[in-house]
Structures are given as structure tokens and as C-alpha cells.
Structure 1
Amino acid sequence: MMFAVLRRWMGSLGFKGRESPRNEVLDAQELSRWYAGLALEERLAISRELGPRVRASRPKRDEATLPAVAVGRLVFEQEGPGGPRALHHIKVELWDRDFGSPDDFLGEGFTDPEGYFRVRYDPADAGEGDLPDLEVRFFEPQHSFRPDGQVVETWRRIGSEKGPDDHGGLHHDFGTLKLPYWEYDPSTPLARLLVTEEGTPPTAYAPGRALAMLKAVAPIELVKRRHLLQGKLGQAPGLDRIQADYPEAMTVRMERESPGSTRTDAFFGERLLNGMFSTLMDGDPEAPGDKAAFRLYFPWNAYEQDGDHCLPDVDVRLRLAEGRLLPTRIILGMREPGVKQAGAPVTRRSYTPADGPGWEAAKRMARVSATLETELGNHLGQCHFNVEQYAIAAHRNLRRSPLRWLLMPHLREVVLINHSASGFLVGPKGYITRASALTERSVDTRLLHLMGSYDWKGFAPAPPICESHRYARAANLFWRLLGEHVSAFFAEHAQALAAEWLEVRRFSDDLVAHSAPAFVCRYLRATVPGKPAPWFVRSERMDLDAKVTEPVAKAVSPVTCTDTPQPGELEALQQLCRYVIFFATFRHAWANNLQWDDAGEVLYACLGLRWGKDGALSTEADHDVAPPPEEATEMLWISWMLSKTSYGYLLSNEEADVHPRFVELLRAHAAEFAALGLDIRTVSSRINI
């Protein structure tokens, strides 16, 4: 049968017999010689191409009449607390391996909820006079959408297991087969994908992403390399030269056009509202009831530091005045130079606009603090690592559930970029570790605390605090449209979602079991749970009242604890989906795409200021405080690369894996987003940078 299909396929491609005077398609013997002469990669490519054609060309038969059967069980490589973990609903194909000719398809089936498979077949399908050399191959589903919203399913091979050669019996048990499939990394308390030192993740970037990266980075790669080489030769360029060698950043341009404009109090407040730093604005607990008073607090003294950089606790008080958010006081909790231990004694220093140069230095310290918090919190923690935990659980469990069609487009590449970040940004040689005051251990601790504070349950973007709060207005618009999309999807697939609830149960179980312990700092424990705290914005935070009363609280709440949906659980699942897509798309785009605007000037914002000869609060003219040349050029290279590399835009939908309804819904509101400063065409469908 395989030869018959191969003849037709080669004929359709114009492959004709060279030795045949009648120019006919190659006969079986010639095909066998031709196939045997191909490289392994070419034979595999032909097998992948012809496999579906062979299956489609074989006449339907009653499986009960087939004389032979192959059975087995498929489980994850890593066991769970109760023993082997079943790989449910994996497609299993049974093949006859042939040497020198294409393999023969024998039959297919699916693993059941406990991972068992049973494939009936006819040994005669191996070919006349040939006893089958058995092999099972495993496949996961892939999908795309037609323009009308109809789903097109395909299958991607994820593994295989060879059975006996020349099997003449009518029964074979492959036994329990362990497949290393989307395994959790046991060496970290975070839900991270296990990738061995010489291994590769179980997924890959879309082909166009590599070209996008090359296009973005090529213009600045030689600039960075030249700076680093000059440093090694003892001829390191100064910060002014380094800055000038890179494309002009937003703050550099603004300073050229209007000197001092980016260092004003008004610009400081505007970027906290709408820049890459945009974050939750709590009220001022010392001014209860004052709706114009706000506070941002960064508790860096709680973490070990390297002693070379100055990273104080930063307490910023702000006030709305005539539609603008202005800083009114900055309190810095300063350690002594060189002190490294967490919780070190600090001296609190308070600065106001009346303090002149001291105020400007305090604002710079606050900008640096906000930059570091954005990279670790808003960007790496809340988007990258937060979304990764949902991606791993989804890939491990969602195959028959329509939930896969909704979530997978937004989860498809995050583990790849996070795997790169594990050495590039964090870890002993990561840029954050080298360029900030935080040590490798304190970076890990901070990320664990951050991950311990993220939960899908009850989340909604906080309302804007004023008309000029463009970020919050755009976030709420996107959240509303996303809600319409998710609701429509659930209405369309409600019955199938309920029918495949087992997959949702296991998805939820994996999420909760591998999420970080819920983290509530001592200050919040003392001031928020069970107490009136109107200054504390709750909409974007986990339920502190619930978490502090649970014996062993996990950050991520369960969707369900049963194999059939209970009242309210479909609605809870909708909320989870909305949350995940929001952070994989809009929230990541806002934090990531503005990096060159807000972190494209070394003297304006960086990850860490050094103590320097005259103390860390000296002026910008003191380059002993600023990053050294090597870190400065790396910072600008990273900021440009992150902001300018993008592939997989929502509205482009290059892989056609996002439901066209969502694409058109966003496109219809492009003008509203543009009025808020967001080009919706720049929002990616997933995190891949």
C-alpha cells in the first residue's frame, strides 16, 4: 500500500522512471532502491508527508474483525506523589518499520484517561511475505482556524517506541512506556519547564521569529561588540560615546529638543502612570480617605545585596494635581555602603522638591528602583514566569478539550524565551544579577515572593486614577474585549468543555500543585486581611483574606476539584482564560515594548546605581555612580532588542491559530487604542521575547 501511494505522490511531483522507455512512474523495485539511497532526514520527511495519505487511502474496516492487537500504557517520565502519572488522550499510531522502503501504517488509537492504549491491526498490512517490525508513535494535536472560525486539526509527532522485529504473534504488550513530556523542573520552587543541559524544549519558535530577531538586533550587535572589545583592550569608551553609538532613545531625543524635560516632576509621574513602569497605584495609607494621594513602595532591604550597588527601600508619595500625578515626597531607607545581609539596619532620609539636587538624586534612585521592579515584577515575573506555569499545565493536559484552541496560541513559545532568560537575565551570570544590587540568591527569592502573589481568581485591571491614566484605560478596554471573546467561545463550546472536564481537572491540579507558596509580607498581614484598608487596591491582587487563613496556601487557586463541572466552575474557567491571555498579550506588550522609551538612556534609568566616591546620591555628572561601560552597552543592547523584536502579532495572526473573531474585535477598536497611545498592531499573541 505504501508503494502505491508513493508512486502516485512521486507522479504528482513529476518524478518519472529514468530507465523506463515509456517514461512511466518508477516500479516497486526501483522505488525501493531510490528510497534506500536517501538520507535519514529525507526518508523521515517522506514518511511524514505520506503517512496521512496512506491512512486516508486505506479502506475503512471494522476494527473488531482485525486479528491482531498491540497494547500498552503511556505515562510521564516523572512520577507524581501517587506513582506514575497517566498521559491521557495522546494519539498512538502503530507502524511496521521497513528498511530500504517506506514504513507501513497498521492502525491507530488514543490513550484513555489512565494512559492505556489498544490498537487493533492486520499483520498482512505489513506487505506480502513480511512479518511486521512493530513501532508505536505518539502525536499531540495542533490546530489552526479557517477565516470562518472553523478549526483545522493536525498532529505533531512527539515520540516513539520500537517493539519486536518480525512479530508473528497476534498480541504484543509494549508495557508501561515513560515519555519525558513537558516535565516540571524539580530543582526550583517555581513552576518551570525541565530542560536538560544538552536537551531542547519540547516545542520550537515559529520560523519567522528568527528573521525578526536578526532584523532587530543586526544593526546594534556590532556596536555592542565594538564597545566590549575596546574595554578588553583597556580603551573603554565613555558613557556619552556609548549612548551616542546607539539609536536615539525617547528621553535622549526629548532632552535634545527640550533640555531638562525628562527630569521634571511631571514627567516622573507621567511615566509611572503610562510608561513601562506603569503599575498598581495604592492610596496613601497615611492619608486615609484622600483620593488624590498615592503611594509606591519597593522593599529592597528585605533582600541580600552585593554591597557594591546602592538599592535602598524606596517609598514614593504622589498627589494628583490638575490631572497630573506629581511626586511630593520620597523616603529612602539607606544601608551603609558595603552592607550585604538582608534586613540590614537602615537610615531613613526624606526628600521633597524643596531639596533641589537631593530631590533630583532621590527621583533618579526611585526611577532605578522602578526599572528593576518592572524587569523582575511586571515583566519577568508577572508575564514570563507567571504565564509559563499555565503553559506547562496546559500542554500536559489539554488535548480533547476545546480549551486548547482558546489558550494554546497564547502559550506556545513562552517556555522557550524563559529558558533563554534563565541564563541571560537571571542566574549567576545573568544581566540582572550583575547590573543590580541583588545577588543570585536574592533574585531567586524576590521572584519566588512575586510568584507567590499572582492568582487568576478575582483579577481585573484597576480603574484609571485620572483622565491621563492611559495605561489603565487601555488595559480596561482590552480586558472588556477579551471578556467578550472568551464568553463567546465558551457559549459556542460549552457542551464539549463540560464533556472533557477531566482534562480541566488535571490542568487545575497541575497548576495548584506546582504554583509557588502564597506570599503575604508582614506589613500586609498586619494591615489588610480582615481589616478595613480602603487605600489597598484589591482588584489586581490575590484574595489576602483567603490566603492567610489557609493552612498551606498556594498562590494559584483551583478551578475545580471534581471530574465534572460544579456550579460556577465554568465561569471560573472563563476568568482563568481571560487572565492568562491578558498577561500573555496586552500586559506583556505594554511592559516589554516600552523598554527602549524608558530604559534607553543609561543616565536616566538603569538596573542599579553604584555607591561611587561621593555616594550614590550624587549627580548624573558623576559617572562613578552610573553603570560601568560594559554594563551600559549591554543595557542599551537588551532594551533595544526587547522592544524592537517582535513576531506573532495578534492582528497579523501569522499561524492562523488565534480565533479570527478576536482578531476582528481588536481591529474594530484600533482607533480607541490609538487614542490611548497603543498601536494594537504591535501587541503579540504570545510571549516570545
Structure 2
Amino acid sequence: MKLAPWRRLKSSLGIESEKGGPDLLEPEELARWYAGLDLPQRLAVSRELASRVRAPRVSRDIAALPAVATGRLVFEQDGPRGPIPLHHVKVELWDRDLGTPDDFLGEGFTDAEGAFEIRYDPADAGEGDVPDLELRYFEPQHTFRQDGRVEESWRRIGSERGPDDHGGLHHDFGTVRVPYWEYDPATPLARLLVVEEGTPPTAYAPGRSLAMLKAVAPIELVKRQHLLQGRLGQAPSLAKIQADYPEATTVRLERESPGSTRGDAYFGERLLNGMFSAILDRDPEAPGDAQAFRIYHPWNAYEQDGIHCLPDVDVRLRLVEGRLLPVRIILGLREPGATAPGSPVTRRSFTPGDGADWEAAKRMARVSATLDTELGNHLGQCHFNVEQYAIAANRNLRRNPLRWLLMPHLREVVLINHAASGFLVGPTGYITRASALTERGINQRLEHLMGSYDWKGFAPSNPVCEGHRYAQAGQLFWRLLGEHIDAFFAEHGAEIEAQWKEVRRFSDDLVAHSAPAFVCRYLRAKVPGKDAPWFVRSERMDLDTKAAEPPPKAVSAVTHTDTPQAGEVEALKNLCRYVIFFATFRHAWANNLQWEDAGEVLYACLGLRWGPGGTLPTEEDLDVAPNPDEATEMLWISWMLSKTNYGLLLSNEEEDLHPRLLELLRTHAAEFAAMGLDVRTVSSRINI
């Protein structure tokens, strides 16, 4: 190997030999230096030296090679019409060797039906060696260069052992079933199948574990100490638990201005711009009044544990001099201990003139909003919603450039969701233990939520007032995503259309595995086919279509054909915009404000217990508050969610994001900051 190019490269990279010599690096040094380079530097080294360290392959006519290996790759689980082909997968044929490196024999790709044919020369196994055949298969990876060009690579995902000492000129591997991104048949939702003690077919980026440790280490021992004290019968008070954690936003504001976070103005502000930000419908009982709004949480529809009090919550609000203020809260209260869905309720209405009862009703509404946010805005609409697109994309997008656009925003979501399935929900999950909903009630609520999410027709709602910063930021982020996606399709639209069969299969998987569309009885009676100007339609699925019987699937199809029809490319662009919006902006808003809005146990929690003092106790009645174990877990979770940051859009740690999107966001960073969003805190994907 000539050393002059390496000397020049060493100089440009600022590398000095540890031995002090001008030219020579020992093999160990070389490996260490190379491992410490970033991706652009490694690519530079490879381009400079590859031709000198790899023996040149003799050009030859592949079709004339004497031997051939054939077969077909399919998914492990069959579809309604039998085996499902694993299309456009890279396959390599190797000779296995013991004690020496394996020998590469040939390569190819599966076709649209999963079939492959690899021609090879048995002599490539080495002199005197009869090939021991092995099939290896790979999935594509990519990075973006600063000029927007793509660098492709391949990651091995599995192998199939063939015959030893194969002396023939043909071998058929047959139908090879690959357990790759399989759907879980045990759930009505589109969830990834991960067997007990198994792992998903992907992994977190290495930096994510460091970010988690850095965020959680300061409070991990605090939580452990609290739990240990509880097991020893010496549980700390809620005040002590709260004081042991970093000071939460509401605690600080109360210290600076007592009563400020419990006032009506702060209540309305957090519904506009806090973690609780939600769709604000007009008040249907005040037709034509543009200043009147409503938020409704129908908890009585679900099974409850009889321990916690979780009424239906109907909040009426009004814009007064630019501020959103609550004017009436209607609670649909069950009898203590009632557990069945649809239990009889007593409706009680509270207004600001009701003193302590009004404050207690607002607290109940905050608890309701916290649970609705965690199950809806956060876990359902972001985590589980994006997972269904991640599974379908990983199963189907390989040749289509759409993969370069979507995959950076779909990586890792199935990993964090797999953890959430036991950590937050499930029989022992925190939400199950800390809220009124039973495991069955949570599952039904999530199924109803997933049955109401669709990309088609989605657009962020308009701001309801000048101070509606969340909606303003959402509108701006949505517009920039539109510009980014339009430019991407201008660059790659021809190839996206050429590989439309992958889009069709992506769409088919999405629709087939999405939840049945869910429209509650109230909306069925009030909205489909009717003039309902109070109902915000832009962020919801088309109820006129989805209210049909039997219920259609919640997710709409992009296409039904292998070539795009009129309007389908635009539909695909809208789907991409929707997915990226929820994987980035919407998740950041719901997740990053956890400590700000759910960092004080007595201000907001997932559930209040029935207590001896009645159904509307004050904060001083600790019998209804979370128990010490649940309190410390709540604070730990809120801190962990808000403070663990890795995979940020503008950091682009994996270099898989198109630089155009980063530039768009940087250019508008000041505008986002004025709306309360530090765009540097928005992640590129859901991994927490």
C-alpha cells in the first residue's frame, strides 16, 4: 500500500502518529484512529484508500457464470391470500469457511414477488474448496451529505444456512420465511410483534442511552429511596417527596406569586399553550357565539377501578379580552365504587361563583386533561399512531426514495412503544395503577382513539386568539414541512412514481392493520351529514365517510393501484406531512412540557381517589391524592420524559435528515421562539 495518499489524508484530518514517525501507523493505531472519525471523515478515508486495500474484481459476464442459487423470501406471517413477498431485499450468497474468512460468491435483489436468482462461480470458494452455501439478506440505510445527495449502505438482517460441500450447479433455497417487522395478531391496533424476552428488529442510536442516563441519574436515587422507605413502612409525605425533586414550574410560580397557578387565567392559558393543548370546539349550546368554546372528556364510557374518581368532564370556556377563561365545568359523577362502563351519573355544574367547589372542579378538570393528554395527545396520537406508519414503511419501502424522507422520523418509535406497553399500560403499568381506568378501560380508550386518527384531510387548527401560541407554532411548522416535502418530491418524484408498487403495498398494510373507525354516538347524532359549524373538522377524520356501517378502517388508503392515479401523489405528500408533524412537532409539544404541567403532584396527576370528605375535596385533603409510591413515580416519569433529549432535529446526530429541513427550521427559529417553542428541543423522531 502506498503511503503518500494516507500521509496527505492524515494531515488534512489532523492525525499524528503515536510512534512519532512521519509515515507509518501500526494496525492497532490505524483501527483506533479510524473508529474515532465521524462519518464524513470515514467516507473520505474509504474513497481515498478503498482501491488500494481491496483486490480489484475481474470484470466478467455474470450471466455466464456456471452455478445459480434461487429461492424466495416471504414474511413469517401469511396474509389473507397466503405468503407475503419480501420485495426488493438485497441478498448475498457466501461460502462459509471455518478458521478463514468467508468467501463472497454473488449478490442480487428479490423481485416484486420475493424471488431471487444469484449466479456464481464455485471456484470463488477457493482452491480445493467446495462451497458451503449461506444466503444473507440486508436492509437499506442512508445518510445525507450537506449538498442533499444520499449515501446508501446496507445492514445485515438475517441469513439462511444452505448445504455443506455443495458440488452441484444449482441450489434452490425454497421459500425462506423471514420474521421481519411482523404485526402483533393479539391486538386490534397496528403494533409490532415482539415475543417474550425478544427484541424488536431495530435498536436505539448509541447516544440515546447516554442521554437517558444523564437526564435520569440525578433523580433515580431519589425515587429508589422513596420506594424503599414505603416498603419499610416509613413512607415520606407528599410535601417531602415534592421537595426532593427539582423545583417544578408550578411550584416556583406559587412560591413567587401564591395562587397564580390555581387561577382561572392560568387554567385557560395551559389549555391553550400547555401540555394539555387540545382541539377547542365551539360551544354547541351557544350557536353563533365566536367567543365560546368547549372541551369534553367522556370517561364514563369506560370501565373504572372504583377506587379513583373520574367523572365525565365538560368544560365551557370564553375568550375575554384575549384570555381564555373557564366559565362553567359540568361533572358527570358516578357513585363511589361504580366500575361498569355507562354507570349512572349525577351531573353537577360549577361556576366561578362557587368558591371552593369551583376550585375543586378545576382541579378535577386538570386531572382529566392530564390523563387525556397522556393517553390521547401523547401515547395514542403520537406514539401508537406513528408506530403504525413505521411498521408499514419498514415492511415495504426499500427502493422508493420515500424511505429517505420518512425513515429518519420513524426510527426508534417501536422501541419506546414496546417499553411503554409494560411500563405505562398493561396490568401493572403506571397509568393503570395511578388512574381510574382499568387495563380493559385503557385498552378500549386507546382503540377508540386510534380509530379516530387519519392522515387524510388533516391540517392544524387555526389559532382562536392572538395568544394561542401552540396553534401558531403548529401552523408555521406545518407550512415548513409542506415546503420541504414539495421540494423533495420535485427532486425525487419521478422515481417515487416509478416505485409506486411499494407505495401501494405501504398503503395496503396501513389500511389493513389500522383500527376500525370510531365515531361516538353523540357525534354520530350531531355531525355526519349535518351543518355543525361548532365542530372543528380540520384535525379530525372525515366523519361523513367514517361513520358508515360497518365501520371502515380509520386510516384512509393513498392508492389502490401499482401506478399513481390522479391526485394520489398529492395524497402521498399529505400523508408524509402528517407523519412527520406528529413524530416531531406534536410529540415535542406534548412530551417536553411534562415537567412544566405535570411536575407537581397536587396540581395535576392521573387520578384522584374517592375520599371520606366527598367527591370534590380540596388540595388539603391528602386522602384523595396519589399515594407516596405513585407520587414519586409520577415526578420521576415527568422529569424523565421532559429532560431526555437525543435525536434532535437540528443536531441530526445520525446525519439521515435532508439538510433542507434543517435550514428551514433554523431560518425560522426566532419566529418559533416568539411562539414559545425552542426549535432546538424538537426531536426528529419519537424515542422517549
Q: 1:33 corresponds to which residue?
A: none
Rounded Cα–Cα distance in structure 2 between residues aligned with 1:345 and 1:55: 77
Q: How much has 1:549 moved relative to structure 2?
A: 2.8
Runs of 4 or more off by more than 6 Å in structure 1? 52-56
Q: How much has 1:613 moved relative to structure 2?
A: 1.5
Q: 1:210 corresponds to which residue?
A: 209
> What does 1:567-582 correspond to in 2, within 5 Å?
567-582=566-581
In the alignment, is the contact (CA less than 8 A) between 2:518 and 2:551 conserved in 1?
no
Amino acid at match of 2:674: A
1:143 aligns with 2:142: yes
> What does 1:337-416 correspond to in 2, within 5 Å?
337-416=336-415
Q: How much has 1:548 moved relative to structure 2?
A: 1.6
The count of aligned residue pairs is 646
Offset from partner CA, 1:46-98 (integer Å, 9 cap, x none): xxx9xx99988323321111110000000000000000000000000000000
1:180 aligns with 2:179: yes
Q: 1:40 corresponds to which residue?
A: none
* TM-score, normalised via structure 1 length: 0.92
In the alignment, is the contact (CA less than 8 A) between 1:55 and 1:105 conserved in 2?
no
In the alignment, is the contact (CA less than 8 A) between 1:609 and 1:616 conserved in 2?
no
Q: How much has 1:207 moved relative to structure 2?
A: 0.4
Amino acid at match of 1:582: F
Rounded Cα–Cα distance in structure 2 between residues aligned with 1:80 and 1:325: 51
Q: 1:672 corresponds to which residue?
A: 671
Secondary structure at the residue paired with 1:57? coil
Offset from partner CA, 1:190-212 (integer Å, 9 cap, x none): 00000000211000000000000
Q: Provide closer, same or farther for how the CA distance between residues 55 and 436 of structure 1 changes in structure 2, counting only shifts above 3 A.
A: farther
Offset from partner CA, 1:117-167 (integer Å, 9 cap, x none): 000000110001111100010000000000000000000000000101111
Q: 2:687 corresponds to which residue?
A: 688
Q: Provide closer, same or farther for how the CA distance between residues 489 and 533 of structure 1 changes in structure 2, counting only shifts above 3 A.
A: same
Q: 2:318 corresponds to which residue?
A: 319
Q: How much has 1:550 moved relative to structure 2?
A: 5.7
Q: How much has 1:616 moved relative to structure 2?
A: 3.3
Offset from partner CA, 1:466-505 (integer Å, 9 cap, x none): 0000000000000000000001001111110010000000
In the alignment, is the contact (CA less than 8 A) between 1:231 and 1:237 conserved in 2?
yes
In the alignment, is the contact (CA less than 8 A) between 1:143 and 1:153 conserved in 2?
yes
Rounded Cα–Cα distance in structure 1 between residues aligned with 2:543 and 2:426: 30
Offset from partner CA, 1:593-634 (integer Å, 9 cap, x none): 000000000000000000111123111011001100000000
* TM-score, normalised via structure 2 length: 0.92
Rounded Cα–Cα distance in structure 2 between residues aligned with 1:500 and 1:471: 37
> What does 1:64-143 correspond to in 2, within 5 Å?
64-143=63-142
Mark the runs of 5 or more structure 1 residues left unpaired by the alignment: 14-22, 27-48
Secondary structure at the residue paired with 1:646? coil
In the alignment, is the contact (CA less than 8 A) between 1:616 and 1:625 conserved in 2?
no
Q: 1:254 corresponds to which residue?
A: 253
Q: How much has 1:331 moved relative to structure 2?
A: 0.3
1:533 aligns with 2:532: yes
Amino acid at match of 1:621: E
Q: 2:523 corresponds to which residue?
A: 524
Q: 2:439 corresponds to which residue?
A: 440
Rounded Cα–Cα distance in structure 1 between residues aligned with 2:256 and 2:394: 50
Q: 1:507 corresponds to which residue?
A: 506
In the alignment, is the contact (CA less than 8 A) between 2:313 and 2:329 conserved in 1?
yes
Q: 2:584 corresponds to which residue?
A: 585
Q: 2:596 corresponds to which residue?
A: 597
Q: How much has 1:452 moved relative to structure 2?
A: 0.1
Amino acid at match of 1:467: E
Q: 1:548 corresponds to which residue?
A: 547
In the alignment, is the contact (CA less than 8 A) between 1:133 and 1:165 conserved in 2?
yes
Rounded Cα–Cα distance in structure 1 between residues aligned with 2:67 and 2:172: 11
Amino acid at match of 1:483: G
Q: 2:308 corresponds to which residue?
A: 309
Rounded Cα–Cα distance in structure 2 between residues aligned with 1:686 and 1:383: 10
Q: 1:271 corresponds to which residue?
A: 270
Rounded Cα–Cα distance in structure 2 between residues aligned with 1:82 and 1:471: 46
Rounded Cα–Cα distance in structure 2 between residues aligned with 1:106 and 1:228: 59
Rounded Cα–Cα distance in structure 1 between residues aligned with 2:197 and 2:380: 26
Rounded Cα–Cα distance in structure 1 between residues aligned with 2:197 and 2:237: 39
Give the alignment's Cα RMSD to 1 decimal: 1.7
Q: How much has 1:373 moved relative to structure 2?
A: 0.1
Q: 2:31 corresponds to which residue?
A: none
1:242 aligns with 2:241: yes
Q: 1:473 corresponds to which residue?
A: 472
Offset from partner CA, 1:531-564 (integer Å, 9 cap, x none): 1100000000000001123644000000000000
In the alignment, is the contact (CA less than 8 A) between 1:282 and 1:537 conserved in 2?
yes
Percentage of matched positions with identical amino acids: 80
Rounded Cα–Cα distance in structure 2 between residues aligned with 1:487 and 1:566: 18
Mark the runs of 5 or more structure 2 residues left unpaired by the alignment: 11-23, 28-45
Q: 2:41 corresponds to which residue?
A: none
Q: Provide closer, same or farther for how the CA distance between residues 256 and 589 of structure 1 changes in structure 2, counting only shifts above 3 A.
A: same
Rounded Cα–Cα distance in structure 2 between residues aligned with 1:484 and 1:413: 25
Rounded Cα–Cα distance in structure 1 between residues aligned with 2:253 and 2:594: 16
Q: 1:156 corresponds to which residue?
A: 155
> What does 1:446-461 correspond to in 2, within 5 Å?
446-461=445-460
Secondary structure at the residue paired with 2:270? helix
Amino acid at match of 2:633: E
Rounded Cα–Cα distance in structure 2 between residues aligned with 1:271 and 1:552: 35
In the alignment, is the contact (CA less than 8 A) between 1:89 and 1:112 conserved in 2?
yes
In the alignment, is the contact (CA less than 8 A) between 1:78 and 1:84 conserved in 2?
yes
Q: Provide closer, same or farther for how the CA distance between residues 253 and 559 of structure 1 changes in structure 2, counting only shifts above 3 A.
A: same
Rounded Cα–Cα distance in structure 2 between residues aligned with 1:60 and 1:100: 29
Secondary structure at the residue paired with 2:630? helix
Amino acid at match of 2:228: L
Rounded Cα–Cα distance in structure 1 between residues aligned with 2:629 and 2:536: 40
Amino acid at match of 1:655: E
Q: 1:38 corresponds to which residue?
A: none
